[in-house]
Amino acid sequence: MKDMDENERIKEILKLLKKEYPKPTVALNFSNPLEMLIATILSTQATDVKVNEVTKDLFKKYKTARDYAEADRTELENDIRPTGFYRNKAKYLQEACKLIIEKFDGNVPDTMEGLISLPGVARKTANIVISNAFGKIEGIAVDTHVKRLSQRLGLTKNKNPDKIEQDLMAIIPKKEWFQFTYMIIDHGRKICHAKKPEHNKCVVRELCPSANI
């Protein structure tokens, strides 16, 4: 690491992660943009496994934005209760779907500006939806894993997700943004845990300032 400049180090990190995670992708199950949006909102402070368990039945019950917007609030809360923070999430789901009906003709918007105008949708959620549901790459989704690993790898000193995203976008080639997001998430789940990272199993340990080498 001492003999590399920062650009070379980043290139090597990407190379090693690509080899380790050749086909990274979102872990949330969905079949259309609305399902992607709903699942992503529900994933806040919840595991993707739990969200997928909940949406298996949820997506059979609610098919359109109007279904969510006009649902009985208490019933919707109970339907999503296992994901946690279900009262706030139900509120966001209904408010977002009402705006989708009023402003976007019942269709989930396919622009960053449109998505972040929805209640409960910040850039992280918008990035996940727009890249996975519409195939548009507007940025890097900074979830808890991306935030933690970017800091540990010395790619940012910021703590604010939006500022972290700007730092990453400045140093990661745009063509790598989507893959980078999910490689980092996979690596965070598998190796670089919040409390006890497994440095001995980490493929980028020699390039990581936080590793105990």
Q: Which residues are catalytic?
A: 124, 143
Structure tokens of 191? 């190796």
User: CA torsion sign, 201 to 49 to 154 to 4?
Assistant: positive
CA torsion, points 72, 127, 133, 75, in degrees to nearest 10?
Answer: -10
The one-letter amino acid at 151: Q
Tell me the C-alpha distance between 185 and 177, whole Å.
12
Residues in the chain: 213
Task: Report d(CA 208, CA 213) in Å as an integer.
Answer: 9
How far, CA to CA in Å, does 72 sit from each of 66, 67, 69, 78?
12, 10, 9, 10
Tell me the CA end-to-end span of the chain in Å, nearest whole number: 11
Q: How many CB atoms sit inside 10 A of residue 206's CB?
A: 11
d(CA 209, CA 213): 9
- Residue 200: CA atoms inside 13 Å, Cβ hemisphere, count? 1
